[in-house]
Amino acid sequence: MSYPVIVVPFLNVSGMALFPFILVKYKADANDPVLIRHETIHLKQAAELLVIPFYVMYLLHYLYNLYRYGNHRQAYYQIIFEREAYRNENDAAYLNKRRFWAWRFY
Ligand SMILES: [Zn+2]
């Protein structure tokens, strides 16, 4: 399944998954398969957790990591949902073979 991509020029990151949309800062990014795959992984994670709990868990993981590592960058990259997304964003076949709640293995 593909999700609608919306260009949001004032976005402060290159891409964001805001269920059920993928927001990108630049129009060209709408054609970046790696970025779109990364954000699509997040939308699947969100759908599997009935959306709101996904965002709550994402935030709580981030805050826990911030406390644990003491810096934003590491706190962000160690969020379990980001670990799954970054690990698989370059695998074109990943979305077809991904298992339910796959993030729990990261
Ligand atoms: Zn991400």
* Sign of the dihedral defined by the CA atoms of residues 55, 79, 15, 88, in that order: negative
Give 23's strand partners: 6, 16
Q: Report the predicted TM-score, pTM, of the whole model to 2 decimal places.
A: 0.95
Token digits for 103? 């993030």
Give the model's pLDDT for residue 15: 95
CA of 85 to the centre of ligand 1 (A): 6
pLDDT in tens, 55-101: 999 999 999 999 999 999 999 999 999 999 999 999 999 999 999 99
Domains in the chain, number: 1
- Mean per-residue pLDDT over the chain, rounded: 96
DSSP-assigned letters across all residues of 6-58: EE-TT-SSSEEEETTEEEESSGGGGG-HHHHHHHHHHHHHHHHTTSHHHHHHH
Structural domain that includes position 88: 5-105
CA of 83 to the centre of ligand 1 (A): 8
Phi-psi category of 23—alpha, beta or left, where left has phi over 0 and alpha has psi -120 to 50?
A: beta
pLDDT in tens, 15-40: 999 999 999 999 999 999 999 999 99
* Residues, beta carbon < 5 Å, ion ligand 1: 82, 85
